[in-house]
Amino acid sequence: MKAPPFEWHRPATLAEAVASLAAVAPQDGRVLAGGQSLLPAMALRVARPPHLVDINGIAELGELRVEDNALRIGALVRHAAFHRPVAHGPLGALMAGVVRHIAHWPIRTRGSFGGSLCHADPASEWPLVAVVLGATMQAVSLRGDRLIDGPAFLRGPLETALAPDEILRAVTLPLLPADAHWGFEEVARRAGDFAQAMALVVLRMDAIGRVAEARIGIGGVEAVPRRLAAVEALVNGRLPSATLVEEAGRAAAAACDPMEDAPYRRALVRAVVSRALASAAMPQALAA
Amino acid sequence: MSDVLHRVRMTVNARAATIAVEARRTLAEALREDLGLTGTHLGCEHGVCGACTVLMDGAPVRACLVLAVQAEGAAIRTVEGLAAPDGTLHPLQQAFADHHALQCGYCTPGFLMLAMAMLEENPAMEEAEMVERLSSNLCRCTGYAGILAAVRSVMRR
Amino acid sequence: MSVIGRSVPRLEDPPLLRGEGAFAADISFPRQLHMRVVRAEMAHARLLAVDVSAALALPGVVAVWTGEDVATIPPIPFRATKLKGLEPYCQPILARGRVRYVGEPVAVVFAENAALAEDAADLVVADLEELPALLDAAAPPRDFDATHATEPAILRKSYGDVEAGFAAAHAVLDLDLSIGRHSGVPLETRGAIARYDAASDTLELHGTAKKQHWNRDEIARLLGRSPTSVHLFEGHVGGGFGVRGELYPEDLLVCLAALRLRRPVKWIEDRREHLVATNHSRQQRHRLRAAVDAEGRLIAIDNVFFHDQGAYVRTHGARVADMSAGLLLGPYAVPAYRATGHFRLTNKTPAATYRAPGRYEGTFVRERLMDAIAARLGLDRVEVRRRNFVPVSAMPFTRPLDALGTDVVLDSGDYALLLDKALARFGWEARQADIARRRAAGESVGLGLGFFVEKSGLGPSDGVRMSVDPTGVVELVTGAASVGQGVETALAQIAADALGVDYRCVRVVRGQTNRIEFGSGAHASRVTVMSGSATHLAGLALRDLALGTAATLLQAPKESLTIVDGMVCRADGPALPIGEVARALAAGTKLSRERAVPGLTTEGWFHSDHMTYPYGVHLAQVALDRMTGAVAVEHYLVAYDVGRAVNPKLVEGQIIGGFAQGLGGALFEEFRYDERGQPLSTTLADYLMPTIAEMPPLDVLVTEDAPSPLNPLGVKGAGEGGTNAVGAAIASAIDDALGNKGLVTRLPVTPREVLRLLGEIEA
Ligand SMILES: Cc1cc2nc3c(=O)[nH]c(=O)nc-3n(C[C@H](O)[C@H](O)[C@H](O)COP(=O)(O)OP(=O)(O)OC[C@H]3O[C@@H](n4cnc5c(N)ncnc54)[C@H](O)[C@@H]3O)c2cc1C
Ligand code: FES
Ligand code: FES
């Protein structure tokens, strides 16, 4: 299980990387980020890029900062950076909660936030986070920078809006207000395995405890992660209750369109959506 | 193109090492084949088993999913570097022996390096956290009870 | 105090902890070539041609062979088996004419390095014409080739009047049960490194395990050499579990290449290859009928089963099916029994043994039956088992059946006693009350159990050579092998105990065919029983010789002497290091001439016609997640009587590790195929072995209530009891959580299946 031969390019700056990728993209040259998806695919010889543009030497891509009320995540920020909250408030906690579902620690020390989005595995966690939280992707090529929003970025399984010569530079996630509540739930066969279904729910409540704004997304089931508008509409304006949780789960199961094994995946969607909603809406009540 | 050899300088267990490798050589292969450090094992070569775990600049990595060329300038630590120069086992190694944390020993180097990283990050880790971290690697022989007991025994209470 | 029965530290550990192990991939020779196998990509196809020209043209490639190049080498044989007619189904070392499973070797490439060999292998083009794949062993047989069908044989075992039993039955139960494809999947893949030493005309094979002597003899025979010119070496072994150390095509190919190419040849299996090339196991379907009386006592069992052997008959022949038939009844007394085993080939990876072979399957089947009897007659599940146990008063109990060529005679055991101890330790009563409360609150929770009888210590003979050198170090050379279970430590303890030395002074040499002429390897939990007994006898003989010699040297009566900690001493008087005694027996000394043979050295042999039968019970508590189908094992107990534990910690380690494998087979692991026979479980991300996070709270109770009367130590094997009943106990607990309706009929029980059984989703 040895990768086929390839030529390795290691640019020191983003400008060099863009130029280097532009030169090799026509021959199926690819970016190498954390390598935690690309290198196993090459070892199994299901991917055979003749050129790799290794972006690990580019400091700028590893930067992580809060600016303009948003979290700006350099494409190469490793999953493990999120083990501890990277921002005050709910967003940092949400990311720290979700990251524990991604693979395992030694994979998280290498695998990158941007790589996960570019790889666009339907069962990956970060793409779901990007879609639900309204992320903006910043891509760069010789043609300059462009911004792409989450749903437009993710085109299908292992397919994104990036052109072959484009590098994902950074992802911007708006900070969550301090009173936002979130819940994340995932079903995987074993610890660290890719999700068979997952749901992320973010809620804001009004003064009397009704849901003012719900964002409810699922991943691992359809070709790309997606917010379920019908379920959000069902939840908005209602007081959280066991009934609401149950209804939302059923509505989500009805609303989704699984790629495979529909009855089973629908059942899982019902489970993860109702549980994520419950933990967002009534953390104490349901913990008991 | 496969003929191009890249020179890689790194430190391995605190010693300088220079090798010349093809770009496709993984760090695990380089340690084993170019540096003769066969303590780092390969159980899958696709990132699932963790037998190849080494520390790269202090962080645990799957050495089968890092290219040797990417280790340029890095400090690598492997199982061969754990015992004292006089051969005395590291307390973690001794704990593995004391708690019957190994049978065939094939997974052992990976688990030792994983546990080293755990100790260094947080020597007072909670049990649930230990389980989460240790779930990174596979052992087919022990059923993990001895491994967990060994790691628990070296954690600060 | 005897060192037997103590949990002393393992002798094996230090090099393994330091990264100084010598596993197959760690062995290299100057000038070595690397072999890569080109494997069939269709499950069943005519092999029209193989084009190797592009591969050969790659710089650094030394040779490429196809079936034509090795046509003179006979197919891989199997060890003695009672079933006749299996020969035509043996696997050729490279396919010719047809390929029969995805992964079958069709060509081999030899190149200067491993990556290059893989590049070249990619360039080999096999011209295949696809044929329909046969994937279900219970479906009607088809053609294997022009003259043979895919059912080589039907295995039959029976005793008693089965028909009369059914005629007299109070109730008849009908079950249809199946077990999925699992395998050992050791963490180290296979490897084989062959080297031909022209100077001494010897062929060496490194990276071997388990059955060195048999393999040596067969390699020699197939390659037309004398067995004494072939040596097999065992280094460290990264787990065996039944699959490693069998003779595979790759072993022959590296040997042949080393002879032909006159360079060392190294082959290291990669993980994807492993999952399609190394033996699979377990897959069977049982259609079982049972007759019982009004009290739930078994009157007769009629079991028809289909054994999915995969594409070829491998070295085990029909042993797994044989054990399924011969050992199905476990702890229960059954007046009449008939087993009909359809031994069938399919277009999947060939199958053979995996830890508790035939018993993991059989225990699942038998214990599902016991639960079904209880449900049908409205009896307590525990009570039904008690009523059917072979009573302790009937021991040794002869069952008119055979398995592995020996008559089944249960040597000793108090099944009811162990069951009582286990139930108490587990808190079965209290848990039942708790379960009832939780159910009333809407939870799906259940308890389950699986009782079983293992077997161990397969004969017929085992011998060791034991000697003391002038420094007092004891060398124990055994034909046994080690696959990582702690064989060295256990044998050293037995040797030390018999002789009177520190166990750390014993060097155990195993798995080297050039050090001892005979060996039976390590399988079937036989090492502690057979090699252990031989070691015990050798140790006693050596002690006697040492005492006799020392008596002369010390001018004291032999009876007044004893050996403690390597010193031969008299209660009051002088002591002599045992190394001195050895020195006094060196070649040429007066004493050695008197004895005719020099050296403080001896051989010990142990013979046995019957196996020993350890037994145990597994108890499980599970909770089902009604929304996701996930099964949470909340508590688990393995209780196992091993007769006598040489090293309790090692026994416990075997049980816990074995349990993890059984758990995989019960809930996670399965080799799946699509409808054309393409394997779907080809990475460790698809073949789901448990991590530490999947391990439940596990309690182990090792008892020594029934030592074996068949060997001087009273030991029984400990290797397989942790695995045996996991599928049975977990299935029983899940079924209990579902209302004890006999719904769980298949392993592994996946979350999807649980949801279906809960009625949450449609089939
Ligand atoms: C055993 C195992 C289990 C895993 N489990 C999970 C899991 O549960 N959940 C999960 O989400 N992931 C999982 N992963 C995948 C892991 O998270 C990867 O790290 C991630 O999917 C890809 O990130 P990377 O940085 O490693 O990218 P790489 O592997 O380097 O690249 C992946 C792809 O993205 C492209 N790419 C990467 N970065 C850029 C960029 N900046 N611009 C343009 N293109 C780019 C590459 O060209 C390549 O095609 C697992 C991996 C392993 C080995
Ligand atoms: S060998 Fe690297 S994870 Fe298995
Ligand atoms: S000890 Fe054998 S794999 Fe862990």
Query: Is residue B85 a part of any domain in this protein?
Result: no
Do C451 and C462 reside in the same domain of the chain? no
Query: Is residue C396 a part of any domain in this protein?
Result: yes
- CATH code: domain of residue C716: 3.30.365.10
DSSP state, residue B26: B
pLDDT at res. A169? 98
pLDDT at res. A285? 45
Query: Structural domain tally of chain C?
Result: 3
Do C529 and C435 reside in the same domain of the chain? no
pLDDT at res. A170? 98
| Cβ of residue A111 lying under 6 Å from some atom of ligand 1 | yes
Euclidean distance between CA atoms C23 and C243, whole angstroms:
16
Judge whether residue A70 has pLDDT over 80: yes
Please, where in chain A does CATH 3.30.465.10 lie? Answer: 61-174
Of the candidates B48, B156, B154, B155, the one whose C-alpha atom is nearest the C-alpha of residue B110 is B48
pLDDT at res. B157? 64
Query: Of C13, C23, C187, which is best to mutate to test ligand 3, by the most ligand atoms within 8 angstroms of its C-beta?
Result: C187
Query: Is residue B66 a part of any domain in this protein?
Result: yes
Is-contact B109 B80, C-beta < 8 A? Answer: no
Q: Which fold has domain A181-283?
A: Enolase-like; domain 1 (3.30.390)
pLDDT, tens digit, for every residue of B77-107?
999 999 999 999 999 999 999 999 999 999 9
Do C596 and C628 reside in the same domain of the chain? no
Query: Is residue B44 a part of any domain in this protein?
Result: yes
Query: Which of A31, A48, A77, A104 should one mutate to test binding to chain B, selecting the residue with the greatest count of B CBs within 10 A?
Result: A104
- CATH code: domain of residue B55: 3.10.20.30
Query: Is residue B96 a part of any domain in this protein?
Result: yes
Query: Which of A190, A221, A279 should one mutate to test binding to chain C, selecting the residue with the greatest count of C CBs within 10 A?
Result: A190
Of the candidates A12, B21, B16, the one whose C-alpha atom is nearest the C-alpha of residue B8 is B21
Residues of B in contact with A110 (CB under 8 A): 61-62, 65-66
Query: Is residue C695 a part of any domain in this protein?
Result: yes
pLDDT band at B3 (very low <50, low <70, confident <90, very high): low
pLDDT at res. C518? 86
pLDDT at res. C522? 75
Euclidean distance between CA atoms A267 and A250, whole angstroms:
9
Is-contact C719 C658, C-beta < 8 A? Answer: yes
Residues of A in contact with C115 (CB under 8 A): 2-3, 5
**Residue written as token pair 């029976």:** C158
Do B95 and B128 reside in the same domain of the chain? yes
Strand, helix or coil at B83?
A: coil
Judge whether residue A288 has pLDDT over 60: no
Judge whether residue A100 has pLDDT over 50: yes
Query: Is residue B128 a part of any domain in this protein?
Result: yes
Q: Mean pLDDT over all residues of chain C?
A: 96
Do C442 and C476 reside in the same domain of the chain? no
Query: Does the distance separating the beta carbons of A44 and C119 come in below 8 Å?
Result: no
Is the CA virtual torsion C748, C750, C754, C759 positive or negative?
negative
Do C410 and C509 reside in the same domain of the chain? no
Query: Structural domain tally of chain B?
Result: 2
Q: Give the percent of chain B with pLDDT over 70.
A: 97
Query: Does the distance separating the beta carbons of C761 and A263 come in below 8 Å?
Result: yes
DSSP state, residue A68: T
pTM, full prediction? 0.97
Do C683 and C621 reside in the same domain of the chain? yes
Question: Among B137-151, C129-143, C191-205, C505-519, where is mean pLDDT lowest?
Answer: C505-519
Do C483 and C593 reside in the same domain of the chain? yes
| Cβ of residue B51 lying under 6 Å from some atom of ligand 2 | yes
| Token couple for C271 | 């993980």
Do C450 and C484 reside in the same domain of the chain? no
Give nearest CA residue, ligand 3 atom 4.
B139
Query: Is residue C149 a part of any domain in this protein?
Result: no
Q: Which of C:156-215 have CB within 8 Å of B?
A: 184-189
pLDDT at res. C519? 83
Query: Of B41, B48, B56, which is best to mutate to test ligand 2, by the most ligand atoms within 8 angstroms of its C-beta?
Result: B48
Strand, helix or coil at A74?
A: strand
| Token couple for A212 | 């003012």
Do B69 and B10 reside in the same domain of the chain? yes
Do B60 and B111 reside in the same domain of the chain? no
Query: Does the distance separating the beta carbons of B45 and A43 come in below 8 Å?
Result: yes
| Cβ of residue B48 lying under 6 Å from some atom of ligand 2 | yes
Cis peptide before C460 (omega within 30 of 0): yes
Residues of A in contact with B50 (CB under 8 A): 104, 106
Q: Give the percent of chain C with pLDDT over 90.
A: 92
Residues of B in contact with A100 (CB under 8 A): 132
Query: Is residue B86 a part of any domain in this protein?
Result: no
A7-54 — its CATH code?
A: 3.30.43.10
Chain B residue with minimum CA distance to A110? B61
CA atoms within 13 A on the CB side of C577: 12
Give nearest CA residue, ligand 2 atom 3.
B47
pLDDT, tens digit, for every residue of C326-340?
999 999 999 999 999
Name beta bridge partners: C338: C158, C302
Query: Is residue B101 a part of any domain in this protein?
Result: yes
* Nearest ligand 3 atom to alpha carbon B147: 4
Q: Which fold has domain A61-174?
A: 3.30.465
Do B70 and B103 reside in the same domain of the chain? no
- CATH code: domain of residue B111: 1.10.150.120
Judge whether B47 is closer than 8 Å to chain A, CB to CB. yes
Euclidean distance between CA atoms A54 and A112, whole angstroms:
13
Of the candidates A233, A236, A234, the one whose C-alpha atom is nearest the C-alpha of residue A205 is A236
Query: Does the distance separating the beta carbons of B42 and C25 come in below 8 Å?
Result: yes
Residue C66: in which H helix or E strand, if any? strand C61-66
pLDDT, tens digit, for every residue of C91-128?
999 999 999 999 999 999 999 999 999 999 999 999 99
Do C581 and C633 reside in the same domain of the chain? no
pLDDT at res. C96? 95
| Cβ of residue A119 lying under 6 Å from some atom of ligand 1 | yes
Do B72 and B31 reside in the same domain of the chain? yes
pLDDT, tens digit, for every residue of C143-167?
999 999 999 999 999 999 999 999 9
pLDDT band at B1 (very low <50, low <70, confident <90, very high): very low
Q: How many CB atoms lie within 10 A of CB C85?
A: 11
Sheet holding C125-130, edge to edge: C98-99, C45-51, C125-130
Do B65 and B127 reside in the same domain of the chain? no
Mean pLDDT of C741-760: 97
Q: Give the percent of chain B with pLDDT over 90.
A: 96
Judge whether residue B70 has pLDDT over 50: yes
Judge whether residue C608 has pLDDT over 50: yes
Mean pLDDT of C692-715: 97
Please, where in chain A does CATH 3.30.43.10 lie? Answer: 7-54
Do B95 and B139 reside in the same domain of the chain? yes
Domain boundary among B78, B103, B122: B78
Question: Among B45-49, B118-122, C329-333, C480-484, where is mean pLDDT lowest?
Answer: C480-484
Assign 3-state DSSP to chain A and report helix, strand, coil percentages, each to 5: 40, 25, 35
* Nearest ligand 1 atom to alpha carbon A125: 11
Query: Of A10, A18, A36, A113, which is best to mutate to test ligand 1, by the most ligand atoms within 8 angstroms of its C-beta?
Result: A36
Of the candidates C489, C484, C527, the one whose C-alpha atom is nearest the C-alpha of residue C508 is C489
Q: Give the percent of chain C with pLDDT over 70.
A: 100
Query: Does the distance separating the beta carbons of C10 and B135 come in below 8 Å?
Result: no
Euclidean distance between CA atoms A276 and C52, whole angstroms:
56
| Cβ of residue A107 lying under 6 Å from some atom of ligand 1 | yes
Euclidean distance between CA atoms A52 and A31, whole angstroms:
6
pLDDT at res. C524? 67
Name beta bridge partners: C563: C568
Query: Is residue C283 a part of any domain in this protein?
Result: no
Neighbours of chain B (3+ CB pairs under 8 A): A, C
Domain span at residue B38?
A: 5-78
Cis peptide before C748 (omega within 30 of 0): yes
Q: Strand pairing of C284-292 and C298-308?
A: antiparallel
Query: What is the per-residue DSSP string for C16-62?
Result: HHHT----GGG---TT-EEEEEEE-SSSSEEEEEEE-HHHHHSTTEE
When CB atoms are compared, the residue of B4, B45, B136 closest to A106 is B136
pLDDT at res. A243? 96
pLDDT at res. A283? 61
pLDDT, tens digit, for every residue of C513-556?
999 988 887 776 788 899 999 999 999 999 999 999 999 999 99
Of the candidates C706, C716, C721, the one whose C-alpha atom is nearest the C-alpha of residue C638 is C721
Residue C166: in which H helix or E strand, if any? helix C162-167
Name beta bridge partners: C210: none
Do B126 and B61 reside in the same domain of the chain? no
pLDDT band at C594 (very low <50, low <70, confident <90, very high): confident
Residues of C in contact with A271 (CB under 8 A): 625, 627-628
DSSP state, residue C601: E
Taking the alpha carbons at both ends of chain B, their separation in whole angstroms is 54
Residues 6+ apart with CB under 8 A from C672: C181, C679, C680, C681
Chain A residues with CB under 8 Å of a chain C CB are: 1-5, 44-45, 187, 189-194, 249, 261, 263-264, 266-268, 270-271, 274-275
Judge whether residue C572 has pLDDT over 80: no
Of the candidates A88, A85, A288, A93, the one whose C-alpha atom is nearest the C-alpha of residue A183 is A93
Domain span at residue C118?
A: 24-131+189-237+244-277
Chain A residues with CB under 8 Å of a chain B CB are: 1-8, 10, 32, 35-36, 39-40, 42-44, 50, 52, 54, 56, 80, 100, 104-107, 109-110, 190-192
Chain-centre distance for alpha carbon A24: 27
Q: How many CB atoms lie within 10 A of CB B120?
A: 12
Cis peptide before C331 (omega within 30 of 0): no
Full 3-state SS string of chain B: CCCCCEEEEEEECCEEEEEEECCCCEHHHHHHHHCCCCCCCCCCCCCCCCCCEEEECCEEEEHHHCEHHHHCCCEEECHHHCCCCCCCCCHHHHHHHHCCCCCCCCCHHHHHHHHHHHHHHCCCCCHHHHHHHHCCCCCCCCCCHHHHHHHHHHCCC
Name beta bridge partners: A181: A203
pLDDT at res. A286? 43
Domain boundary among C559, C586, C607: C607
Query: Is residue C88 a part of any domain in this protein?
Result: yes
